Chain A
Amino acid sequence: MNLYFFPRFTATALAALVLAGSAAAKSIELLNVSYDPTRELYVEYNAAFAAYWKTKTGDDVVVKQSHGGSGKQARSVIDGLRADVVTLALAGDIDAIAKNSGALSSDWQTRFPHNSAPYTSTIVFLVRKGNPKGIKDWDDIVKPGVAVITPNPKTSGGARWNYLAAWEFAKRKLGSDDAAKAFVAKLFKNVPVLDSGARGATTTFVQRGIGDVFLSWENEAFLAVKEFGADQFEIIVPSLSILAEPPVAVVDKVVKRKGTAEVANAYLEYLYSDEGQDIAGKNFYRPVDPKAAAKYAAQFTKVDLFTIDQAFGGWAKAQKEHFDDGGTFDQIYLKN
């Protein structure tokens, strides 16, 4: 059979398919790989974004969530988990993805406003009602007999913020890195359980009843009080803490392959919208937009905050010195 018509037939069929596809509403699925305590935030935000996107384009978008320790999540993406976007606890974890997988460029942090951090948070202490151990500041949690709950800095972004906040407090108070290292070593001697992520550590402290103080993301502490009642827990704000800037990024390699670049970018951009910022505030994250920040200012205690750049010269440096294999955490924890 002479199949001269075959290419024409194929072209016509493909054109029909394309036209049929473009005429119908699309159903799009995104995967947001995030860290532990953002579950509630993104459940609410995903619904809001889906409604926004439907109104704007007519397309249905379903955002699947994956949560875990920030470092573990980054490792999963490096190992091939097909995340359209990552919303992790610290820039160092997204840097690691860029460096080790090449799935996004090294300038990813310039893509969105505020260094791609649409909300901030900090580290506070969650103690049991009545604060039976009288914990007020970082000094108090290194005392003998105080059981401290914090996740493993090797796998949890929140734990790394905890670690560095304690380090900087001690350095400022005691005057040297050596003294800070000894201080943090004492702190980790008081840690009886090392969870891999912040949500697991919350379970350890809140539901399993272990420990006297939980070094917690601010939003996670508020959530525990809200969920389990102010008659069980109190939030203690230390004299000094760290400004945590959980960043977001589109995983270019994945969205290019899946054809989801437009919606993935819109998904992260919408975090900066009035609705996105309001949802962040409602979920106890500190909005970066001044209007939303003012709206929710009353729920956050004022605290002296330092940044990772100011105290440690950025995440890359901090990661290498403290958390890479052989860093100060390994020296302290293996010794303990």
Chain B
Amino acid sequence: MKSPRSFRDAATAVALSTLALAPLAGRAQTAPADDISALREQIRQLDQKLRVLERNNELKDEAATAAAQKAVKVTADAKGFGLTSADKSFDLKLKLMAQFDSRTFLDHEGAANRDGFFLRRIRLPFTGTISNVDFTVTPELGANALSSTSTTVGLIDAWVNVKLIPEFNIKAGRSPSPVGLEPGANRHFIESPFVNTLLPNRDLGIEANGSFNGGFVDYRAGAYIGTRNNTQSFSTDDADGDKTAAGRLTVAPFFADKESPLSKLSLGVGASHGNERGSISASTTVTGIQNYVSNGQQTLLAIPGAFVESNAKGNKASGTSIIADGDHTRISPSLEWYTGTPFSLVAEYAVEKQDYLYRRQSAGTGNATTGTVGAVNTRRFDGETTAWRVSTGYVLTGEEATKNGVTPFAPFKWGADSWGAFELVGRLSGVDYAESLYDAAHGGLSPTANATGAFAYGAGLNWYFNNNFRVLFNVEKTKLEGGGAGTAGALSDELYFFTRLQLSF
């Protein structure tokens, strides 16, 4: 369709041609001046009408554009479903992450066959920005335990971050703990390495956070309830009433040199210090300590919590507990290097020092009238556990490896010779549990019945179909130190083959 302007030009040209040809019609040489004036006036009026038409169309377009700019923007793309206000001060997004896992243990010398299918995680993050406040609410459904008979439902994240200035913001709620690297740092492998079993997963509290020089230095520092290692529980971890101070400082020393392969190298250190106390009552024991698991999610070290307070004569109950009882300090330095090439590297170390209380109650004798109360033996001690890991990846198809994964040059398409991206990954990791736990004078755990440490090495292939769907294959061997058949599924050396199908947007 011709634009009004070109239509006007064409019409004007026709009118002028008519005017020019008028003399040829025979009247020209004798045409009265009035006729020519009248024709000129007609042309002027015609020109004005066309200009008016054009301008009114222009105004309609402007009004339509203005209305479109004011309209709420609805999006549905690889990043989720979104609603954004015209001035972008309101931005809401609904996302999904679903992980379906298959676990096969190739060596069944352990206490139990733990093979199976798992709905590992189903998360529905609802994120957004309202004016200068960011928020995230993430419900999670899923079950990590083979024996689980019900779906775990809970809130994995629920926080608000009030943005004041880039260097200083306030975040409150439940979010990934600052002590360790953010969850994405484990993306090379399906399951987290030993380091994560020494650090809290999520914690509940209030923190200051910010960034200097556009990302050269990032920090987080705050007060939290002090969640147990490798857990994400809510306020139950604050039963002792003490807060834990925690934070992380990250420096990207070559951040400014965008051309440098070191520009995305970041060095960080996280730490926490708090006072953690378990509890023992007549009915139950809360150790305040999470059991330690292998990279294959099998229990390696179960903290005993069988002691039950009893002052009754003749009570035959007996048992041993080790509970948290005092200072708990963690330090975790890290290195992340996303080189801007297919290669990526993440290294992490963690050390935790915990004060413990050992209590053992022997069985009472006789009856409730004449019998005796079982003797109680207690002692305090501390212990230091360390873990480390190095994970690396190389994208065989040449794409850049990033913290969030890999965006394939050619997303997978059946029959189109388009296969997505493939990344080879490898990991070494190890853990050394506190020696004092096994010392007869302290924790008293049997070093032959429990693992005292472990070393694992593994490899895998990650297949990125597109930005939203990936399939991961991992094989990992864990060699135990000490160990043997423990009480909670602990095993001899572990060799597993895990597969994960992950959908996220």
Contacts and interface: CB of A to CB of B under 8 A. Distances in A.
A334 interface: no
A69 B168 CA distance: 39
A198 B270 CA distance: 60
B275 A2 contact: yes
A18 B273 CA distance: 28
Contacts of B63: 196
A3 B59 contact: no
Nearest to A13: B208
Contacts of B273: 1
Given A193-B56, A200-B59, A204-B55, A3 B48 contact: no
A6 B223 CA distance: 9
B51 A1 contact: no
Nearest to B52: A192
A245 interface: no
A208 B243 contact: no
Contacts of A6: 223, 243, 245
A209 interface: yes
Contact of A1 (B55, B62, B243): B243
A192 B53 CA distance: 9
Chain A CB within 10 Å, residue with most, of B48, B62, B273, B275: B48
A211 B242 CA distance: 79
A13 B56 CA distance: 60
Interface in A198-216: 200, 204, 208-211
A17 B327 CA distance: 31
Interface string A165-209: 000000000000000000000000000110110001000100011
Contacts of A200: 59, 62
Contacts of A210: 48, 51-52, 55
Contacts of B168: 17
A74 interface: no
A280 interface: no
A208 B168 CA distance: 51
A208 B51 CA distance: 7
A195 B63 CA distance: 10
A147 interface: yes
B218 interface: no
B54 interface: yes
Given A17-B168, A195-B59, A200-B59, A3 B243 contact: yes
A196 B56 CA distance: 11
Given A1-B273, A1-B275, A6-B223, A208 B55 contact: yes
Contacts of B275: 1-2
A101 to B, nearest CB: 16
B177 interface: no
Interface in B275-323: 275
Contacts of A2: 242, 275
Contact of A208 (B54, B223, B242, B327): B54
A111 to B, nearest CB: 28
A193 B327 CA distance: 79
Contacts of B54: 208
Interface residues of A, number: 16
A181 B74 CA distance: 46
Interface string A203-247: 010001111000000000000000000000000000000000000
Contacts of B242: 1-3
Contact of A193 (B59, B243, B244, B245): B59
Contacts of B247: none
B458 interface: no
A286 B468 CA distance: 63
B391 to A, nearest CB: 32
B274 interface: yes
Contacts of A196: 59, 63
A1 B244 contact: yes
Contacts of A193: 52, 55-56, 59
A196 B61 CA distance: 13
Given A6-B223, A210-B51, A1 B274 contact: yes
Contacts of A192: 48, 52
A1 B63 CA distance: 62
B138 to A, nearest CB: 28
Given A6-B243, A17-B168, A1 B52 contact: no
Nearest to A21: B165
A20 to B, nearest CB: 11
Interface in A1-45: 1-3, 6, 17
B327 A1 contact: yes
A3 B168 CA distance: 22
A3 B223 contact: yes
A211 B51 CA distance: 10
Nearest to B41: A145
Contact of A3 (B51, B55, B245, B327): B245
A244 to B, nearest CB: 24
Contacts of B245: 1, 3, 6
Chain A CB within 10 Å, residue with most, of B51, B245, B327: B51
A254 B243 CA distance: 38
B244 A209 contact: no
Nearest to B222: A6
Contacts of B51: 208-210
A147 B55 CA distance: 14
Contacts of A147: 48, 52
Given A1-B275, A196-B63, 9 more contacts: A1-B274, A2-B242, A6-B245, A147-B48, A147-B52, A195-B59, A208-B51, A210-B51, A211-B48
Closest 3 CB pairs of A and B: A192-B52, A1-B274, A1-B275
21 contacts: A1-B242, A1-B243, A1-B273, A1-B274, A1-B275, A2-B242, A3-B223, A3-B243, A6-B243, A17-B168, A147-B48, A193-B52, A193-B56, A196-B63, A200-B59, A208-B51, A208-B55, A209-B51, A210-B48, A210-B52, A211-B48
Interface of A: 1-3, 6, 17, 147, 192-193, 195-196, 200, 204, 208-211
